[in-house]
Chain A
Amino acid sequence: MTARDRRVLVVGAAIVGVAILGLRGLPSGVHRLAELRRSAIERRATLERARSVLAGRLAARDSFEHLVAGIVGLAPHLLDGRTAPDAQASLSGLVSLAAGRHAVRVLRLDPVNVADTTSPAFSEVTVHAEVESDMSGILKLIRALETADPVITIRSVDISAPNTAAGLKQPETLRGELTVAGYYLPRATP
C-alpha cells in the first residue's frame, strides 16, 4: 500500500466518520441536550414552586385555621346527619315542626330519591310534603321554610283549592304540595 493509498483511506474514513457524526451523532446529541434542557428547566421550575410553597407555609397554616372556623360555622346551616337517611329524617322533622307551628296539617311526607348533582362538598336530600291548611297557614309555612336555618329551599309548590263550590260561608281549605330540599355534609369516603 502506497502513501497515497493510505492517505485516500484515511481521508475516506474521516469523511465517513464525519458523515456519521453529522447525520446521526449530532442530531441525537442535540435532541438529548434539548431533552436535558427541558428536564432541567422543569425541575428548576418545580423547585421554585416548592420554595414558594414552603415559604408560604406559615401563612397557609393561618389561612387553614380561618378556614376551619368558617367550615365549623357552616354547621348550623346544614341538616343534621352525615348520611342521606339521617339527613332526610332531619329534613322531614324540620318540615313537620314548621307545619305544626303554623297550624298546617301534614297529610303525607315522603322522602324523594333524586340524583345528587349539587356540589362535590355537600349532598342534597329532598322530601315531598302534602299539606292542608288555609292560605295564611300555607304561606307561613313557605316563609318558615325559605327563611329558616338550616338552609332549605323549596323546589316546587302546588297549591290548589279542592272544593271551590263549597260556598263563601265555608272555611277556606287549601291543599298544598311542596318539594323541599336541604343540604348536609356527607361523611368523607375513605
Chain B
Amino acid sequence: MSRRAVLGVSVANGAVRAILAARNRIEWAGSTTWSAPHDLSDAIARLAGEAGRAVRRARVVLERDLIQARTIAPAPPLRARAARRFVALEAPRLFRKNGVPLVTDAAILHSDGSSLALWTAAAPEPVVQAILDGCEEAGIAVEHLGPASDVLPRTTVAPTPGDLIFSNGGTAEVISVGADGTWRSRLIPKPDAAAVELAPPLVALGVEGSHFAAAYGATVAAPRLSLLPANALARRAHAARRQLIRLCIGAAVLWLVAFVTYGARLEFAAASAQRELDLNRGALDSALALRREIDAGASSLREFASLTASRSHHLRLIASITSVLGDSSYLVALQIGSGGIVRLAGYAPSAVRVVAAVGRVPSLHDARLEGPVTRERTAAARELDRFAIVAQRDTL
C-alpha cells in the first residue's frame, strides 16, 4: 500500500529547502531564499507549487540557526504534561526574545541511561506564522512544525545513541541522542570530529545532501517538539472539535439509516410472508382441516385400542381362584367390584388355608379375612369354616 507523499520543508536563516519523498526515495528537491517573514510565505508557496505534483500535507522543521534550543539536565521534577507550560512561563529566562514573541515547547526525555533531561526549543512567532501562512496559501496542511534537531538523527545510515555532528556551511550542530531521541543540540563553529554518514537518498544529492538533510528528515519522521503558536493550536483544536462533531453527526445519521433500513426490511419480510399466506389461504385452510380430521381419527383409533386393551378378564380371574382352592372348599359368593375389590365367601376345612391359597393367585394381593370365621355344620353333616375373604385385584 503506497503512502501519500509528504512534503518535508526545512527553514533555515535565509533559506528554505523542500523535499518530496516517497518510500525512502527523493522524488523532488528544491530550495529558495528569504529575507523577511513575508518573503518566507511566498517562498514556501512558490516551492510547493514547483514540486511537480499536488501535495496536501507537509512537515516543517526549523534549523538550528533559526531556533534556540536549551537542555536542562537533570530535568526539574515536573510531570511530562507540565513541561510545556513550565517552559512557556520561564521563556524570558531561558531564551533570548530579541523583541519578538517566541513559540516554545518542551519534553522530558531520557538522556543517558535513567537520567532525565528537559529538552526545550523556541522559535520566533512571526517566522512560524509566516510558514503557516505560506503553507495555507499553497493549500498544504502542516502536520508538524518543530526543530530540525529532532529529525536529523533519522537521516543517518544507522542512528545510534551518542553525539552526532551535522555540518552545515561554516558551523556544525552537535546533536546528543538518547533512548527517546534528541535531547540536546549545540552549535559549534567548526566540526572537530568527522560528520555523520548520511542516508543513501541524501548521498545521491551530492554536496547538497547535507543541506537537505533536515528537509529529508522531516519526510522520514515527525519532530517531537511542536512549535505551533497558540492561535494555530486553538484553530486546530477547534477544527478537530468540528471534525468530531461532524463524525458524531455522520455516525448518528448512519445509525438512523441502518435503523430505518432494518425496520423497512423487517416490514417488507412480514408483508411478503403475509401476502403469501393470503394467497394460499384457501389451500391452507383445506389442508389444515384435513390434518385436523387426521389427528381426530388417529386419536379415535388410539382410544379404541386403549378401550380394547382395558377389556375385562373376569373369567380368567375366576379360573385362577377356583384352581387354587382345594376340593373340599366351596364358594357361596363371589364378587368382583368395579374398583378391583374381590370378595369371596364360602366353606372350607380351614379358612386360613383358603386365605393363603387366595394370596397365591397372581392377579390378587392383600388377601385377608373379612369378619370372623365361624365353624358351621353343613348339609352334608360336615363341620367347616365359613369364611369371608377380601382381596385387591391388580390394576391392568
Do A and B pair up? The answer is yes
Q: Find out whether the CB atom of A122 lies under 8 angstroms from the CB atom of B300.
A: yes
Bitwise interface map of A from 104 to 128 toward B, beta carbon under 8 Å scored 1, else 0: 0000000000000011111000000
**Distance, CA A64 to CA B263, complexed state (A):** 43
Q: Is A8 an interface residue (CB 8 A)?
A: no
Of the candidates B280, B296, B307, B310, the one whose C-beta lies within 8 Å of that of A50 is: B280
Bitwise interface map of A from 39 to 56 toward B, beta carbon under 8 Å scored 1, else 0: 110011011001001101
Q: Find out whether the CB atom of A160 lies under 8 angstroms from the CB atom of B297.
A: no
Q: Is B28 an interface residue (CB 8 A)?
A: no
Counting chain B residues whose Cβ lies within 8 A of the other chain, the interface size class is 35 or more
Contacts of B262 in A (CB 8 A): 33
- On whether A122 and B307 interact (CB within 8 A), knowing A43-B273, A143-B315, the answer reads yes
Q: Is A159 an interface residue (CB 8 A)?
A: yes
**Distance, CA A183 to CA B307, complexed state (A):** 9
Of the candidates B263, B269, B379, the one whose C-beta lies within 8 Å of that of A168 is: B379
Q: Is A36 an interface residue (CB 8 A)?
A: yes
Q: Find out whether the CB atom of A70 lies under 8 angstroms from the CB atom of B297.
A: yes
Q: Find out whether the CB atom of B314 lies under 8 angstroms from the CB atom of A142.
A: yes
Task: Please choose the segment from A82-90, A91-99, A146-154 that sits at the chain B interface, where 4 or more of its residues have CB less than 8 A away.
Answer: A146-154
Q: Find out whether the CB atom of B380 lies under 8 angstroms from the CB atom of A122.
A: no
A47 smallest CB distance to B (angstroms): 4
**Distance, CA A182 to CA B297, complexed state (A):** 20
Q: Is A16 an interface residue (CB 8 A)?
A: no
B249 smallest CB distance to A (angstroms): 10
Q: Find out whether the CB atom of A151 lies under 8 angstroms from the CB atom of B308.
A: yes
Contacts of A63 in B (CB 8 A): 294
Closest to A151 in B: B308
Residue of A46, A165, A179 contacting most chain B CB atoms (<10 Å): A46
Q: Find out whether the CB atom of B273 lies under 8 angstroms from the CB atom of A64.
A: no
Q: Find out whether the CB atom of B313 lies under 8 angstroms from the CB atom of A39.
A: no
Main secondary structure of the interface of B (DSSP, over half): helix
B335 smallest CB distance to A (angstroms): 5
Q: Find out whether the CB atom of B312 lies under 8 angstroms from the CB atom of A57.
A: no
**Distance, CA A90 to CA B300, complexed state (A):** 22
Q: Is B311 an interface residue (CB 8 A)?
A: yes
Closest to B263 in A: A33
Bitwise interface map of B from 358 to 387 toward A, beta carbon under 8 Å scored 1, else 0: 000000000000000000001110000000
Q: Find out whether the CB atom of B333 lies under 8 angstroms from the CB atom of A60.
A: no
Q: Find out whether the CB atom of B314 lies under 8 angstroms from the CB atom of A40.
A: no
B141 smallest CB distance to A (angstroms): 27
Q: Find out whether the CB atom of A60 lies under 8 angstroms from the CB atom of B291.
A: yes
Contacts of B270 in A (CB 8 A): 36, 39-40, 43-44
Task: Please choose the segment from B12-20, B164-172, B177-185, B282-290 that sits at the chain A interface, where 4 or more of its residues have CB less than 8 A away.
Answer: B282-290
Bitwise interface map of B from 261 to 302 toward A, beta carbon under 8 Å scored 1, else 0: 011001101100110110010011001101101101111110
**Distance, CA A146 to CA B357, complexed state (A):** 26
Contacts of B2 in A (CB 8 A): none
- On whether A46 and B307 interact (CB within 8 A), knowing A139-B318, A161-B332, A164-B332, the answer reads no
Q: Is B86 an interface residue (CB 8 A)?
A: no
Of the candidates A40, A47, A77, the one whose C-beta lies within 8 Å of that of B308 is: A77
**Distance, CA A128 to CA B254, complexed state (A):** 83
Q: Find out whether the CB atom of B277 lies under 8 angstroms from the CB atom of A61.
A: no
Of the candidates B303, B314, B331, the one whose C-beta lies within 8 Å of that of A146 is: B314
**Distance, CA A155 to CA B276, complexed state (A):** 55
Q: Find out whether the CB atom of A44 lies under 8 angstroms from the CB atom of B333.
A: no
- On whether A156 and B336 interact (CB within 8 A), knowing A53-B284, A60-B291, A142-B315, the answer reads yes
B window 332-363: CB within 8 A of A: 332-338
Q: Is A67 an interface residue (CB 8 A)?
A: yes
Q: Is A158 an interface residue (CB 8 A)?
A: yes
Q: Is A157 an interface residue (CB 8 A)?
A: yes
A82 smallest CB distance to B (angstroms): 15
Residue of B267, B276, B298, B315 contacting most chain A CB atoms (<10 Å): B315
**Distance, CA A146 to CA B314, complexed state (A):** 8
Closest to A155 in B: B338
Residue of B280, B283, B314 contacting most chain A CB atoms (<10 Å): B314
**Distance, CA A109 to CA B304, complexed state (A):** 26
Q: Find out whether the CB atom of B297 lies under 8 angstroms from the CB atom of A68.
A: yes
**Distance, CA A29 to CA B338, complexed state (A):** 65
**Distance, CA A146 to CA B311, complexed state (A):** 7
Q: Find out whether the CB atom of A71 lies under 8 angstroms from the CB atom of B315.
A: no
Q: Is A10 an interface residue (CB 8 A)?
A: no
Bitwise interface map of A from 17 to 43 toward B, beta carbon under 8 Å scored 1, else 0: 000000000000100110011011001
Q: Find out whether the CB atom of A151 lies under 8 angstroms from the CB atom of B311.
A: yes
**Distance, CA A54 to CA B267, complexed state (A):** 25
Contacts of B291 in A (CB 8 A): 53, 60
Q: Is A3 an interface residue (CB 8 A)?
A: no
Task: Across the A-B interface, give the 4 residue pairs with the lowest CB-CB distance, nearest first.
Answer: A121-B300, A40-B270, A43-B273, A67-B297
11 contacts between A and B (CB under 8 A): A43-B277, A46-B273, A54-B287, A61-B290, A64-B290, A120-B299, A120-B303, A122-B300, A153-B311, A157-B314, A164-B378
Given contacts A47-B273, A71-B301, A183-B304, 4 further A-B contacts (CB under 8 A): A36-B263, A157-B336, A158-B333, A166-B379
